[in-house]
Amino acid sequence: MTFAYQTFVVFRRQLRMNLRNPAWVIIGMLQPVLYLLLFGPLLKPLVAQFGAVNAYTFFVPGLLVQLGIFGAMFAGFSLIGEWREGVVEAERVTPASRTALLLGRMSRDVLQLLTQALLLVGLGFAMGMRAPLRGVLLGVLLTLLIGSACAAASNAVALTAKSEEVMAPLMNLFLMPILLLSGILLPMTIGPAWLQRASDVIPVKHVVDAVRSSFAGDLATTAVLWGTVWTAVLFALALWWGTRVFRRENA
Amino acid sequence: MIHARGLVHTFSTRRGREKVDVPAVQGVDLDVAPGEIVAFLGPNGAGKTTTLRILTTLLRPTAGTARVAGFDVTTESVQVRQHIGYVSQSGSTSSVARAGDEVVDHGLLYGIDRAAAERRARELFAQLDLDGMWSRQPKSLSGGQRRRLDVAMGLIHDPALVFLDEPTSGLDPQARANLWSHIADLRDRRGTTVFLTTHYLDEADALSDRLIVIDHGRIVASDTAENLKAGVAGDLVHLEVSDLAKVQVAAQWLEALTGGSGVEVDATSVRGRVARAGTVIQGLMRELDRVGVTLTSIEVRPPTLDDVFLNLTGRSLRDDAAA
Residues B222 and B240 in one domain: no
Lowest mean pLDDT across A60-69, B11-20, B29-38, B123-132: B11-20
- CB contact (8 A) between residue B110 and residue A89: no
Residues of A in contact with B153 (CB under 8 A): 90
Of B306 and A237, more confident: A237
Task: List the B235-241 sheet strands across, edge first.
Answer: B263-266, B269-274, B235-241, B295-301
Q: What is the pTM of this model?
A: 0.82
Look at residue B320 and tell me if it is in a domain: no
State the helix-helix crossing angle for B143-155 and B173-190, rounded to 10 degrees. Answer: 20
Residues whose CB falls within 8 Å of the CB of residue A98, separated by 6 or more in sequence, listed in order: A92, A243, A246, A247
Residues B256 and B138 in one domain: no
- CB contact (8 A) between residue B59 and residue A250: yes
Residues of B in contact with A9 (CB under 8 A): 105, 108-109
Query: Chain B, 31-70: which have a CB under 8 Å from a chain A CB?
Result: 56-60
Segment holding A245, helix H or strand E: helix A222-247
pLDDT in tens, B295-315: 888 888 888 777 777 777 776
| Count of pairs with CB atoms under 8 A, one residue in A, one in B | 77
- CB contact (8 A) between residue A17 and residue B97: yes
Residue B99, beta-bridge partner list: none
Average pLDDT value for residue range A212-232: 89
Please report which confidence band the pLDDT of residue B316 belongs to, taking 50, 70 and 90 as the band edges.
low
> How far is residue B232's CA from residue B275's CA, in Å, rounded to a whole number?
9
Lowest mean pLDDT across A207-211, A221-225, B319-323: B319-323
What distance in Å separates residue B109's CA from the closest CA in chain A? Answer: 6
Look at residue B144 and tell me if it is in a domain: yes
- CB contact (8 A) between residue B95 and residue A91: no
Nearest residue of B to residue A17, measured between CA atoms:
B97
pLDDT in tens, A184-205: 888 888 888 888 888 888 888 8
Is the pLDDT at B164 greater than 50? The verdict is yes
Is the pLDDT at B145 greater than 60? The verdict is yes
Look at residue B102 and tell me if it is in a domain: yes
Identify the domain boundary among B197, B229, B261. B229
Region of residue A201 (left: phi > 0; alpha: psi -120 to 50; beta: else): alpha
Residues whose CB falls within 8 Å of the CB of residue B55, separated by 6 or more in sequence, listed in order: B2, B4, B66, B68, B73, B163, B195
pLDDT in tens, A152-183: 999 999 988 888 888 888 888 888 888 888 88
Residues B158 and B254 in one domain: no
pLDDT in tens, B54-68: 999 988 888 888 899
Residues B239 and B92 in one domain: no
Residues of A in contact with B49 (CB under 8 A): none
Give the percent of chain A with pLDDT over 70: 98
Residues of A in contact with B90 (CB under 8 A): 84-86, 89
CATH number of the domain at B211, please.
3.40.50.300
Segment holding B18, helix H or strand E: strand B18-32
- CB contact (8 A) between residue B105 and residue A20: no
Give the percent of chain B with pLDDT over 90: 24
Between the alpha carbon of residue A107 and those of residues A93, A96, A147, the distances in Å are 22, 16, 10
Most A-contacting residue of B98, B109, B195 (CB-CB within 10 A), to test interface:
B109
- Domain count across chain B: 2
Residue A88 · residue B86 · CB < 8 Å:
no
> How far is residue A232's CA from residue A234's CA, in Å, rounded to a whole number?
6
Look at residue B194 and tell me if it is in a domain: yes
Nearest CA-CA partner of B300 in B284, B313, B315, B287:
B284
> How far is residue A71's CA from residue B130's CA, in Å, rounded to a whole number?
38
> How far is residue B195's CA from residue B184's CA, in Å, rounded to a whole number?
12
Per the prediction, chain B carries an average pLDDT of 85
Lowest mean pLDDT across A222-231, B87-96, B283-292: B283-292
- Segments forming the whole domain that contains residue A196: 2-247
Q: Spell A102-124 as b/e; 16+ CB within 10 A means b.
A: bbbbbbbbbebbeebbeebbebb
Residue B241: the pLDDT is 85
Average pLDDT value for residue range A75-95: 90
Residues B192 and B241 in one domain: no
Q: Spell B23-41 as b/e; 16+ CB within 10 A means b.
A: ebbbebebebeeebbbbbb
Q: Nearest by CB to A9, from B82, B88, B105: name it.
A: B105
Most B-contacting residue of A94, A98, A102, A249 (CB-CB within 10 A), to test interface:
A94
Nearest CA-CA partner of B199 in B92, B309, B85, B304:
B309
Residues of A in contact with B55 (CB under 8 A): none
Residue B85: the pLDDT is 93
- Interface residues of A toward B, Cβ cutoff 8 Å, are 2, 5-6, 9-10, 12-13, 16-17, 20-21, 81-82, 84-87, 89-96, 249-250
Residues B171 and B245 in one domain: no
Q: Nearest by CB to B109, from A20, A85, A94: name it.
A: A94
Identify the domain boundary among B229, B250, B274. B229
What distance in Å separates residue A223's CA from the closest CA in chain B? Answer: 43
Between the alpha carbon of residue B182 and those of residues B31, B178, B192, B222, the distances in Å are 24, 7, 12, 24
> How far is residue A231's CA from residue A235's CA, in Å, rounded to a whole number?
6
Segment holding A134, helix H or strand E: helix A133-161
Residue B178: the pLDDT is 85
Residues B163 and B119 in one domain: yes
Residues B279 and B193 in one domain: no
Residue A1: the pLDDT is 56
Residue B317: the pLDDT is 61
Residues of B in contact with A16 (CB under 8 A): 97, 101
- CB contact (8 A) between residue B96 and residue A17: yes
Residues B51 and B193 in one domain: yes
Residue B318: the pLDDT is 54
Of B321 and A27, more confident: A27
**Separate counts of helices (H) and strands (E) for chain A:** 13, 0
Q: Nearest by CB to B108, from A9, A16, A17: name it.
A: A9
- Segments forming the whole domain that contains residue B24: 2-229
- CB contact (8 A) between residue A86 and residue B88: yes
- In chain A, what are the helix, strand and coil shares in percent, each to the nearest 5? 80, 0, 20
Of A123 and B246, more confident: A123
Residue A249: the pLDDT is 60
> How far is residue B276's CA from residue B282's CA, in Å, rounded to a whole number?
12
pLDDT in tens, B205-244: 888 899 998 888 888 888 888 788 777 767 888 888 888 8
- CB contact (8 A) between residue A16 and residue B91: no
Q: Nearest by CB to A13, from B86, B88, B105: name it.
A: B105
Residues whose CB falls within 8 Å of the CB of residue B22, separated by 6 or more in sequence, listed in order: B10, B11, B12, B13
Look at residue B237 and tell me if it is in a domain: yes
Is the pLDDT at A50 greater than 90? The verdict is no
- Domain count across chain A: 1
Residue B136: the pLDDT is 92
Residue B196: the pLDDT is 92
Residues B17 and B152 in one domain: yes
Please report which confidence band the pLDDT of residue A251 belongs to, taking 50, 70 and 90 as the band edges.
very low
Residue A104: the pLDDT is 93
Residues of B in contact with A90 (CB under 8 A): 86, 88, 91-93, 106, 153
> How far is residue A57's CA from residue B10's CA, in Å, rounded to a whole number?
58
Per the prediction, chain A carries an average pLDDT of 87
Identify the domain boundary among B167, B202, B229. B229
Is the pLDDT at B322 greater than 50? The verdict is no
pLDDT in tens, A57-70: 888 898 899 888 88
Q: Which long-range contacts (CB under 8 A, 24 or more apart) does B201-205 make?
A: B201/B41, B201/B304, B201/B305, B201/B306, B201/B309, B201/B317, B201/B318, B202/B305, B203/B39, B203/B168, B203/B176, B204/B39, B204/B41, B204/B305, B205/B305
What distance in Å separates residue B40's CA from the closest CA in chain A? Answer: 20
What distance in Å separates residue B37's CA from the closest CA in chain A? Answer: 21
> How far is residue B319's CA from residue B126's CA, in Å, rounded to a whole number?
38
Residues of B in contact with A17 (CB under 8 A): 94, 96-97
Residues B57 and B183 in one domain: yes
Q: Nearest by CB to A6, from B86, B90, B109: name it.
A: B109
Is the pLDDT at B320 greater than 60? The verdict is no
Nearest residue of B to residue A14, measured between CA atoms:
B97
CATH number of the domain at B275, please.
3.30.70.980
Residues B66 and B211 in one domain: yes
- DSSP-derived pairing of the beta strands B218-223 and B269-274: unpaired
pLDDT in tens, B21-33: 877 888 889 999 9
Q: Nearest by CB to A93, from B56, B101, B111: name it.
A: B56
> How far is residue B265's CA from residue B269's CA, in Å, rounded to a whole number?
6
